[in-house]
Structure 1
Amino acid sequence: MEPPHASGAPHPPNVRPILAVLAEDGLCMSVRRAAAAADRALDERVLPVPRQVWDGAASIALDPAAARACAADALPRRSAVHVVCSGPPGLLEWQAAAAVGAESVLVLPADEPALVESLAQRRDRTVAGGSVVAVVGGCGGAGASTLAAAIALTGPARRAGSRALLVDADPQGGGLDLLLGLEDRPGLRWPAVVVEGGRVSATALHDALPGAGAGVAVLSCGRGDVGRPTAAAMRAMVESGCGAGDLVVCDVGRGPGDLAAAVFDLADLVAVVVPAQVRSAAAAESVVAAARTRNPNVGVVVRGPAPGGLRGADVGELLGLPVLAVMRPQPRLSADLERGGLRLRRRSPLAAGARAVLEVLGTGGGGRAA
């Protein structure tokens, strides 16, 4: 195989290439033909695969050995990964595909048409300019859901004509519709959402979901364990909103699981909310570690009060994270949430914290935060 990015030419701006890690010449030729037929740039690599290259590819083609190596390197599971082989797949090939989270095992050249179709259907989310921010609490009661809602409400106000999609990724959180006072408003919740073929229309989604202000749609979990979203449905929703240019804000539960992993894999920024207390910072260590295994762009939002005088910089140092924002306590917040849901005032600490996160994220374009 030739050296990485063998053509020597840079990829066109805002076009995500196909990543290929293949040892056999026959497989290389088949994938090259498929990429050309799908009108995609091809980035051929040797192991190990850098995390940024893995995250930035539109689709990925791996031979079984490369699939096993990428899984062993703990590269995050993601969509559009294909394991390709030159003969009928056996147990070892299927095990490699399962280990890396591949969505298909293809025999080349016989399955070239299926590979071309898959590569051609993928759309570059960076073209549309959407961004994804995941918000997770470092400990119980940190206020992650409230900050996630504040970020979604603040985003469209910063750019005329823009939209935000607030996605509930915490089935045990009680529902974001309650937090925003939307529980009686008509519209779809997760239990009623059906994702067909892994595709969702962003326009239809905004029309079907309850709104929380101009340009803000809310996809909330229900109460209890009914209609829990799957990781595939979560991924489809996030990719749909981002591909349409929306700011997608996900309220993620603290517990490990496939939903959190799916959101972390797609996020441009993960914001961990931590109260300014030593025990809260200690409790957040496991959450930070889980997020970092899926995404390198993790920062902390420190929420006051600080009864022991712990500063935001201290919390950031304890967790080894950059501080995205330090928020003062918001007076009467709990009472406001109980009496009709979150209403964001421009000069409130929550609004200031939301704006600080959006500044770091860069709401004007997609792609990972620096």
Structure 2
Amino acid sequence: MTNGRTIAVLGGGTGAGATTLVVALAMRAHAAGRRVTAVDADPCGGGLDVAFGIETEPGVRWEDLLGSDGPLDGERLAERLPEHHDGPTVLSFGRQWCAVPEELFERTWTGLQQAQELLLIDVGRQALASGMTERVDEVVLVARGTATGLAAAGATAQQLQRAPRLVVRGAGRSIAREAATALDTELAAVLPTDQRLAADTERGIPPGSRGRSAYVGACDVLLRDLLLPEEVAA
């Protein structure tokens, strides 16, 4: 079986919106009929399952995989992961902090790649330091469209061993293009501000659930034209 496509998404500084984008892209990919799993690689991020509104759903979290050895059956694991009632499966940290050994992450990742069409990894600073972003198909760097947000994205990009694709949130396209030029990287998308996202999250409604919004429309274009380029070429 051909391995699924793996996309790492990381934020340029605090509050960039990387987790929100991971959730939205996962929801939109699932809505398009794709087998997709969102993977939490940030033990200090509060839990990706919370962002999906499924923190009370039963299923395997990272702490349940600690102590396992040998290859992991991705199909079986995907079946045991919590999932949104109309969304993708999610491998998240629970409410207790735990350290996931790099070899466990890689075994889990390899198994899921063989079972799913798309893995979206919410990359935290720990994963960034481990060099994880060097081993994925694409790296998407999310930046707030402010002076400090773009400066933080620049500092983050300097830690990467490859050029990321830049997504700028809440800025005009001209500013976003200037930022991409300054970072010597490709501008993948400009995401509009959506005031409903924060309110939806508080109510357990994951980003990307609403079929009609400028933010969702931008995510659909990003998913089609950037994250799944082999299908665009076809």
TM-score above 0.5: yes
Report the 3-state secondary structure (helix = DSSP H, G, I; strand = E; otherwise coil) of the residue aligned with 1:249.
Answer: strand
Choose the corresponding residue for 1:353, options 212, 218, 224: 218
State the structure with bigger RCO (CA 8 A, min sep 6), 1 or 2: 2
5+ residue gaps, structure 1: 1-126, 366-370
* Aligned counterpart, 1:330: 194
Preserved contact between residue 199 and residue 240 of structure 1 (Cα < 8 Å)? yes
Report the 3-state secondary structure (helix = DSSP H, G, I; strand = E; otherwise coil) of the residue aligned with 1:311.
Answer: helix
State the shift of 1:297 in Å.
4.9
Q: 1:216 to 1:178 in 2, by over 3 A?
A: same
5+ residue gaps, structure 2: none
Question: Is 1:285 aligned to 2:154, yes or no?
Answer: yes
Preserved contact between residue 168 and residue 221 of structure 1 (Cα < 8 Å)? yes
State the shift of 1:128 in Å.
1.4
Question: Is 1:248 aligned to 2:88, yes or no?
Answer: no
The one-character-per-residue Cα deviations of 1:224-244 (angstroms, maximum 9, x if unpaired) are: 42x222211221222212222
Choose the corresponding residue for 1:197, options 60, 65, 69: 69
Q: Distance in 1 between matches of 2:76 and 2:31?
A: 22
Give identity over the alignment, percent.
Answer: 32
Q: 1:329 to 1:363 in 2, by over 3 A?
A: same
The one-character-per-residue Cα deviations of 1:116-163 (angstroms, maximum 9, x if unpaired) are: xxxxxxxxxxx51510000000010011001011111111322x3x31
Question: Is 1:151 aligned to 2:17, yes or no?
Answer: no
Question: Is 1:316 aligned to 2:180, yes or no?
Answer: yes
Q: Distance in 2 between matches of 1:165 and 1:224?
A: 21
State the shift of 1:281 in Å.
1.0
* Aligned counterpart, 1:206: 78
Alignment of 1:207-226 (within 5 A): 207-214=79-86, 216-225=88-97
Report the 3-state secondary structure (helix = DSSP H, G, I; strand = E; otherwise coil) of the residue aligned with 2:120.
Answer: strand
Q: Distance in 2 between matches of 1:353 and 1:336?
A: 18
Q: Distance in 2 between matches of 1:284 and 1:153?
A: 25
Q: 1:245 to 1:138 in 2, by over 3 A?
A: same
State the shift of 1:212 in Å.
1.9
Q: 1:224 to 1:319 in 2, by over 3 A?
A: farther
Amino acid at match of 2:8: A
* Aligned counterpart, 1:303: 169
Q: Distance in 1 between matches of 2:128 and 2:105?
A: 7
State the shift of 1:337 in Å.
0.8
Question: Is 1:176 aligned to 2:176, yes or no?
Answer: no
**Superposition RMSD in Å:** 2.4
Q: 1:193 to 1:333 in 2, by over 3 A?
A: same
The one-character-per-residue Cα deviations of 1:24-44 (angstroms, maximum 9, x if unpaired) are: xxxxxxxxxxxxxxxxxxxxx
Preserved contact between residue 171 and residue 190 of structure 2 (Cα < 8 Å)? no
Amino acid at match of 1:300: L
Preserved contact between residue 145 and residue 168 of structure 2 (Cα < 8 Å)? yes
The one-character-per-residue Cα deviations of 1:197-227 (angstroms, maximum 9, x if unpaired) are: 34211111111110124561101112342x2
* Aligned counterpart, 1:233: 104
Q: 1:145 to 1:213 in 2, by over 3 A?
A: same
Report the 3-state secondary structure (helix = DSSP H, G, I; strand = E; otherwise coil) of the residue aligned with 2:165.
Answer: strand
Q: Distance in 1 between matches of 2:15 and 2:185?
A: 20
Deviant stretches of 4+, over 4 Å: none
Preserved contact between residue 163 and residue 185 of structure 2 (Cα < 8 Å)? no
- Number of positions where the alignment pairs a residue of Structure 1 with one of Structure 2: 230
Amino acid at match of 2:123: V
